[in-house]
Homo-oligomer: A and B are copies of this chain.
């Protein structure tokens, strides 16, 4: 036995395990060598961390809990043209002022925005995106979830129940995503339930800011969301055709291309 003096505190060690696991997978044996403690201790730590939902144990080690979701269809979207999406999100971030209340929609571009907010304690964030809520679950602004039925594909809350909460709040700015947008049909998406929620959000926002990369331009999907008169600003990337931007500006919205 002969236990060594504890070199690091247990919570510190667990936090290290957590970050190591986040990198991908972490085998028990590797963790033992890195942290210089017995496998029993590693196992106990993993047990605690799993209990807290921080990691998921597997035979031989542990994997990140977040990885499960990121494997799904969802993550395909986050990798595609993620450069543009990140730049769009950064531009959107600059539009947020102090002490504002904002809405964050589901989708990958808006998720980038949500990630940037975890150091802002002055904001109030309303969202129907489970993923966005997760990003802000540990720290950051005040978070209000809309509630409603969980739509698995997009990990958002949709349906009539959503309106129950949305009817009782107003936000300064709503940052919305969309599956497609074009001059004639306005904003469209795949699911009517989601379209309904987006529309509802627009009604309860002082400003509607659409975050959509240029790949969405001239795309029309099944469910209609709204016309351009509801949209105050479109933030997109520089691959958006200038002619499109010019025509759009005539319809009302400002257009920012980063």
Contact = CB atoms under 8 A, between A and B. Distances in A.
Interface of A: 5-6, 8-12, 14-15, 18, 24-25, 27, 29, 47-49, 51-54, 58-61, 63, 65, 68-73, 75-76, 78-79, 82, 108, 111, 130-131, 133-134, 136-139, 142-150, 152, 155, 157, 161-162, 164-165, 167-169
A152 B165 contact: no
Given A9-B60, A11-B73, A51-B78, 13 more contacts: A9-B27, A9-B58, A11-B63, A12-B25, A15-B68, A15-B72, A47-B82, A69-B138, A136-B150, A145-B145, A145-B148, A161-B165, A164-B167
Contact of A18 (B72, B82, B130, B143): B72
Contact of A150 (B58, B82, B111, B137): B137
Contacts of A8: 25
A103 to B, nearest CB: 13
Given A131-B53, A133-B150, A9 B29 contact: no
A70 to B, nearest CB: 8
A144 B137 contact: no
Task: Across the A-B interface, give the 3 residue pairs with the lowest CB-CB distance, nearest first.
Answer: A147-B147, A164-B164, A143-B150
Given A11-B69, A48-B76, A108-B51, A148 B149 contact: no
Given A138-B68, A138-B152, A147-B147, A25 B11 contact: yes
